[in-house]
Structure formats: structure tokens, C-alpha cells
Homo-oligomer: A and B are copies of this chain.
Amino acid sequence: MPDIDAHSELLRLRKSIDNIDAALTHILAERFKCTQKVGALKAEHGLPAADPSREAWQIARLRELATESELAPGFAEKWFSFVVTEVLHHHARIARRE
């Protein structure tokens, strides 16, 4: 591929990546709205912030969904753990305020 075509292709791919990142950011914002409500409910009812059996189920499901959509299941699991760690910090903060 000549350099000029490669450059156009790179710009085209970057535009798609930017659109995808905007979508991911907005969907993550909605996810945090849900988990903030979960955190408030758990704090109000004295439930523990973490739920290891639900998390194990979520990871197994996301690994399957990742495989179906050709995403590395190991990455899906790492990504999920990264988000859950953040959510648990939020839950702990909410519980301290209750």
C-alpha cells in the first residue's frame, strides 16, 4: 500500500475509533448511574459492597460474549475487573456517607 493510501486509511480508522470511544464513554456513564443506585441501596440496607458469586457469573458471561464477538476473553475479564474495582471504591464512599 503506498504511503498516501496508508495515511488515508489510518485517518479513516481513527475516525471510527473516535466514534466508538464516544459511544463507550456515554454507555460507561449510564453504567455508573446504575451502580451508584446499587451502591446507595446496599448502603441503606447494610449489604456488602462486593458480591463475589455475582462477579464470577458476570466474568464467565462476559468471557463468552467476548469470544462470540472476537474480543480476547482475557481482555474482557481484565476490563471488567478494572471497572468493578472503581465501582467498589464508589460503593465504599457512598456507604461512608450513609
Please list the residues of chain A having a beta carbon within 8 angstroms of any beta carbon in chain B: 1, 3, 6, 9-10, 13-14, 16-18, 20-35, 37-38, 41-42, 44-45, 54, 58, 61-62, 65-66, 69-72, 75-76, 78-80, 82-83, 86
Contact = CB atoms under 8 A, between A and B. Distances in A.
A83 B14 CA distance: 15
5 contacts: A10-B41, A13-B34, A24-B28, A25-B71, A78-B86
A21 B31 contact: yes
How many monomers of this protein are in the complex?
2
- A-side interface mostly: helix
A44 to B, nearest CB: 7
B18 A61 contact: yes
Nearest to A23: B27
Contacts of A33: 70
